[in-house]
Each structure stands twice: as C-alpha cells, then as structure tokens.
Amino acid sequence: MTKQKKLGSVSNLPKGKKKPFWDRIWDYKPYMIVGIIIILLIIIYFAILKNIDRNPEINPTPTVSQEKAPDTGTLEVITEPSGARIQFKNKFQMAPTTFENIPEGEHIIILSMPGYRTVEKTVTIEKDSTTTFEYQMER
C-alpha cells in the first residue's frame, strides 16, 4: 500500500532532502488560483464597476442652479416653547427654523416635543412670499 501525497507534503522525499522552492510553491496551486481570481475581481470592481456612474457620456451630471425655482415660497416655523422638532417634507429641524424653495400649495407639517402633544398641521405656501407658522405647543 502506497501513501498518497497530501497537498504541501514532502513526506515522500528521502530524509534530509528538501523539495526545491518552486516545486513546493506549486503544491499550493489551487489556493493560488483562487487567490488570483479574488484579486482580479477586486481590481475589476474598483476599476470598472465603482466608476460606472462617473462616466459623463453615460450619466451626465445635471447643473445645479442657485436661482430660486419658479412658483416657490418660504416657510418660517416658530413654536412656543422653542426647540420643538419639526418634520417637513422628510426633513427634520428644530424650531425656530426656515425652509426655503418650497413648492406653492398645501403641505403637512408635524411638530413634536417631549412632554407635549404631537401635532400635524397643514400650511399653505404662496408663490414668492414668506409664510410664518406660529404654534403654541400643548401638554
């Protein structure tokens, strides 16, 4: 019965003799191939896939204008006591605060504060004007 050579084993060499370096390295060939594949996948990810949105021909970056959008207004929120948490259009701020460039029309505002009732109110924003919303928080 002959012993089968295991990966990385040099047991079939005569005692005192070592396998040449390159022969020992190639005993680990399957592991090296997997490692090389992983390294190539990482390179592909960072070189190609990570930068795919940065190609201006595929996905041009829109220019951002600092001008006020048409048909918008400003909302100023003041609460008594101050420090109420305001939720408006998925934005959270603390009172008193101002929201700018709000589209004209009706919008919902939610006011909350520990120890006080949470309130949901509707505010109407008018074009090219500032709407001031003042609210007395209730316990």
What pLDDT was estimated at residue 34? 93
| pLDDT tens string 30-81 | 888 999 999 999 888 887 776 666 655 555 555 555 565 678 999 999 999 9
Please tell me the predicted confidence (pLDDT) of residue 53. 60
Helix, strand, or coil here: 117? Answer: coil
Q: Where are the domains of the chain?
A: 21-54, 72-136
Question: Looking at this protein, which amino acid is placed at residue 120?
Answer: E
pLDDT for residue 129: 92
105-137: pLDDT as tens digits: 999 999 999 999 999 999 999 998 999 999 999
Look up the CATH number of domain 72-136: 2.60.40.10
Per-position DSSP letters for 99-115, written without gaps between them: EEEEESEEEEEEEE-TT
Q: From CA 81, how far away is CA 102, in angstroms rounded?
A: 25
